[in-house]
């Protein structure tokens, strides 16, 4: 059983909605980024999603895109991110998921990436622009290393693609609560509930819903339909606002504990 599967089993047994936290590795710099990841684990994040900075993102709204620009300017690379996780893994308990576009992985070389990710204690990989129909090579390589393959589903995903993602995927499925790019919203779209119902009808894999989650009431709403809520842009915004302050880590922890309550 993977760490991810184990964590979702614990959440289901407790009847609790999980909280998946996304941060861009290297924002505001590699040292502070490592401290943020450690504090997120301490604050009770159920899964840590670590975004790999990429120069040409397709799904990221302005908040995360600016975080990526800051991370790249600070010298963050895929190799550096995996090295950071290698040093952090013994001190954090939450499952770790790499959140990347395909290009950085393919440029490094799939086999090299998987070997380094395995050594770093990475539990899962979500490749944003990898469709399930083209995911067999990634999945088989990850699976041999004991790494879960996580696929992205949107409100317009067909039943056939949901089934394919469920067949190839493991750990959990990531559902986009609405169309468009990442970013904070006032409410959770009705499309999130509809997507969750369609996914739950086709698979027993846990479902995490993201894109727009920023408040405790959003987490509560998502918990009616899915196993976990994903907070990304709102958390990255906290980091942007306090990135150079001595109180950054306390602000990050305060925000996560507020969401969990």
Residues annotated as part of the active site: 49, 60
What letter would DSSP give residue 208?
E
CA dihedral angle for residue 122, residue 112, residue 125, residue 57, rounded to 10 degrees:
130
d(CA 19, CA 58): 24
Q: Are 94 and 7 in contact (CB under 8 A)?
A: yes
Q: Write the CB contacts of 99 (distance below 8 Å, at least 6 apart in sequence).
A: 22, 49, 50, 51, 52, 126, 128
Q: What are residue 96's DSSP bridge partners?
A: 48
Cα separation, 98 vs 81, in Å, equals 9
The Cα 249–Cα 38 span in angstroms is 9
In Å, the largest CA–CA distance within the chain is 49
Q: Judging by beta carbons within 10 Å of its beta carbon (0-12, 13-18, 19+), is residue 57 exposed, middle or buried?
A: middle
């Amino acid at each position: 059983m993977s760490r991810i599967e184990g964590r979702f089993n614990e959440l289901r047994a407790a009847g609790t909605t999980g909280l998946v936290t996304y941060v861009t590795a290297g924002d505001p710099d590699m040292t502070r980024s490592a401290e943020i990841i450690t504090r997120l684990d301490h604050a009770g994040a159920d899964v840590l999603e670590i975004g790999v900075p990429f120069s040409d993102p397709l799904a990221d709204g302005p908040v995360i895109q600016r975080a990526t620009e800051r991370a790249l300017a600070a010298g963050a690379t895929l190799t550096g991110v995996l090295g950071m996780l290698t040093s952090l893994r013994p001190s954090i308990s939450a499952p770790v998921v790499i959140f990347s576009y395909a290009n950085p992985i393919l440029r490094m070389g799939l086999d090299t990436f998987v070997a380094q990710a395995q050594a770093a204690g990475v539990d899962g990989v979500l490749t944003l622009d990898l469709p399930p129909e083209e995911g067999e090579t990634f999945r088989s390589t990850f699976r041999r290393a004991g790494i879960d393959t996580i696929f992205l589903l949107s409100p317009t995903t067909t039943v056939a693609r949901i089934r394919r993602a469920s067949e190839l995927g493991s750990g959990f499925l990531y559902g986009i609560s609405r169309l468009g790019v990442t970013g904070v919203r006032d409410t959770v779209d009705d499309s999130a509930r509809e997507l969750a119902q369609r996914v739950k009808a086709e698979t027993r894999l846990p479902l995490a819903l993201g894109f727009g989650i920023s408040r405790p009431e959003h987490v509560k709403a998502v918990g009616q339909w899915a196993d976990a809520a994903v907070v990304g842009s709102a958390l990255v915004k906290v980091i942007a606002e306090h990135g150079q302050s001595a109180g950054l880590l306390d602000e990050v922890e305060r925000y996560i504990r507020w969401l969990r309550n």
